[in-house]
Amino acid sequence: MEKKLASSSSADKADSMQTAFRLLLWGLAVAFAIALVGSLLFLSDRYRDFPYSAF
């Protein structure tokens, strides 16, 4: 019984790790996508002469 419980807890932990990994990878992918869109937008004519302030 104890062995069964330990193996089930270890399986749960492995599942949690996989969930964490998937969540983080999705987060990273979304951040990459935003960075790419932002960088391309910056290259577009509309934002080329953006109004910087001197200070």
Partner 1 sequence: MLLDLIRCSGVATVVLFPGAALSWLVDRRSTWPQALAIGGTTAMAAAIVSGYYLLLFHISFAAFVVFEYALLAAAAVILRRRDRTSEFRGRTHSLLGLVILFVFISRSIPLFFGEVPQGLDACFHALIAQKILLSRAIPFDWTPFEAVRLNYPIGTHLLIAETTRWTGVPVHVVFKTLFPLVASLTSVAMYVVALRFSGSQKAAFFSCVAYSFIALWGSIDYYRWGGFPNAVGMLLVLAAVELVFARRAFQLGMLLAAVIMAHHHSALCALVLLLGYALFSRLISIDAAMYRTVIAGFPIAALLALGPVINYLKSSGEIGRASVLKFYEPLISAWEALRQLGIPLVALAAFGTALILAKAPRRSTVFLLFWITAFFSIFVFFEYVYRFGAYFFQREFYTAFTPSRFCTNLSYPLSILAGVGLARFVVFFHGAKRTIATAAVLCLSLAWAYFPLRAQCQPVPMDRDSFDWLAANAEANSFVVAESPWAPYFTWKETQYTPLPASEARNGDYMIFKRTTLNGDVKALRDFSERSGRPVYIVYPVELESRPDLEVFHGEKTRILKLR
Residues of this chain, 8-27, that bind partner 1 according to CB under 8 A: 12-14, 16-21, 23-25, 27
- The answer to whether the beta carbons of residues 18 and 12 sit under 8 Å apart is no
Residues of this chain, 30-49, that bind partner 1 according to CB under 8 A: 30-32, 34-39, 41-43, 47
Closer CB to partner 1, 8 or 16, in the complex: 16
Three-state secondary structure call for residue 49? coil
CA dist 43 and 40 (Å) reads: 5
**Maximum Cα interatomic distance, the chain, rounded to a whole number of Å:** 71
* Contact residues for partner 1, defined by CB under 8 A: 12-14, 16-21, 23-25, 27-28, 30-32, 34-39, 41-43, 47, 50-55
